[in-house]
Amino acid sequence: MKQNIFSKSASKGIFRDEKVLYPEFVPERLPFRDHQIDSLVHAIKPSSEGRKPLNVFVTGLPGTGKTVTVKFVLNELESFTDRVKAVYLNCWQYTSRNAILAELNNFLGEVIPRRGIATDEMYNRFVQAMRKSHFTPLLVLDEFDQLMKTDDGSKVLYDLLRVSELQKNFLGLVLISNDESIIARLDARVRSSLASEQIHFMQYDPRELKEILKLRCQYAFNADVLEPEVVNVAAAHAAKLGGDARIAIESLLKAGRLAEKESSKKVSVKHLQEAFKIADDAILKKGLKALNEDEKKLLKLVAKNKQSDSGKLYREFLKLNPKSPSARSYRVFIANLQKLGLIECKALELSQGRSRLINLKIPEAFLEEI
């Protein structure tokens, strides 16, 4: 009898419960984030008592636990009260004012399509739905900086902040972003109305990363499956990336899958290093896709002008760009490219003063992504 192809399977016994390593998994305990949890509870709790919650701006580098901490607090809130209900939207998926208002209407029971209705009409329906609501909606906008790359970012925030003025019910906002300066770039009217509580997530240090990974591995893998140095190497790699626990956790999942594919009884450092390469490439491609048009032009210019100083690069950038961006905007673009690990900047001494030498940090082949 022919053997089914799915019966030729990978090594058994690698994973105890691999869901513990999934990006969407929310643990029952979050080590080293007590202060941030307490701050979130302080901001949100008034809504459970019929009072106005504080708007919250959550910031920190990638992989420092921002999203998982917010979701952890929301899970606790849901079991504590039914007077507040949260809706979580990731701005990589919800990229426009129209899409966000449509989802909020659906959340409040005002079912409408995302297309075919004018945005102003959608907003009016949202205000009406808020008036009829018997609970306080709490809106979480994750990766909020993606929404701010469009004109809709300030507009939708203005809509959401104004809604409490038009009816008696409150709306809570939690904005999550890697970019700490994004609030300063908001429209002045929005910025003054937002009055947000800022909660910063510091990067994990190597000791904390090791403890977090040990805890995840304890539940994710069967006993004695990991080679002794795997957790230490994963923690060291994450520390090198600025304390990014998420990358380390995803890499451990990939390493386990690679061990299964090879029918190995152990997850080795070799499996982990191969997983790092896959994960790092995926993050790089995601970062490239997130760039705005000005940042894409600038990155291509950096690739073309090898080892160019910042002033010369800016003059070249102005020739390419009919909008003539200000020197301040140019510095913001450079800072974002550097933060994403796409370029490197080194101090440069010139006869006229100081500048920076700017180089491409990624293989040019990756520029095909943009």
CA 15 from chain centre, in angstroms, equals 27
Return d(Cα 147, Cα 69) in angstroms, integer.
21
The dihedral region occupied by 307, where left means phi > 0, alpha psi between -120 and 50, and beta the remainder, is left
**pLDDT in the model for residue 352:** 63
Helix, strand, coil percentages in the chain from 3-state DSSP, rounded to 5: 55, 15, 30
Query: Which residue in this structure is represented by tokens 């090198």?
Result: 240
Beta strands in 253-314 (DSSP E): 308-309
**Which residues are CB-contacts of 335 (< 8 A; sequence separation ≥ 6)?**
none
**Tokens of residue 27, six digits:** 């643990």
Please report, to the nearest 10 degrees, the dihedral formed by the alpha carbons of residues 253, 255, 259, 260 taken in order.
Answer: 30
Q: What is the pLDDT along the chain (370 residues), one digit of tens a residue?
A: 677 776 665 556 899 999 999 999 999 999 999 999 999 999 999 999 989 999 999 999 888 999 999 999 999 999 999 999 999 999 989 988 989 999 999 999 988 876 678 888 999 999 999 998 999 999 999 999 888 877 788 888 888 988 877 777 899 999 999 887 787 777 777 887 787 889 999 999 999 999 999 999 999 999 999 999 999 999 999 988 778 899 899 999 999 999 999 999 999 999 999 999 888 777 777 778 778 788 888 999 988 887 778 888 998 888 887 777 788 888 888 888 887 778 888 876 655 666 788 888 887 777 776 5
**pLDDT in the model for residue 70:** 98
Q: Which of 163, 81, 98, 89 is nearest to 130 (CA)?
A: 163
Return d(Cα 295, Cα 11) in angstroms, integer.
45
Return d(Cα 77, Cα 85) in angstroms, integer.
8
**pLDDT in the model for residue 202:** 93
How far lies 36's CA from each of 60, 171, 200, 253, 315, in Å? Answer: 11, 21, 8, 27, 43
**pLDDT in the model for residue 369:** 61
In sequence order, the β-bridge partners of residue 200 are 59
**pLDDT in the model for residue 13:** 86
Dmax (CA) for the chain in angstroms is 82
Please report which helix (H) or strand (E) contains residue 298, including its range.
helix 293-304
Q: What are phi and psi for residue 10, nearest 5 degrees?
A: -70, 170
pTM: 0.81
Beta strands in the chain (DSSP E): 56-60, 84-90, 136-142, 172-177, 197-201, 308-309, 343-350, 353-360
Q: Which domains does the chain have, with CATH numbers?
A: 33-201 (3.40.50.300), 204-288 (1.10.8.60), 291-369 (1.10.10.10)
**pLDDT in the model for residue 11:** 52
Return d(Cα 313, Cα 325) in angstroms, integer.
13
Return d(Cα 125, Cα 302) in angstroms, integer.
47
Q: Which of 203, 233, 194 is nearest to 217 (CA)?
A: 233
Coil/strand/helix, residue 340 = coil
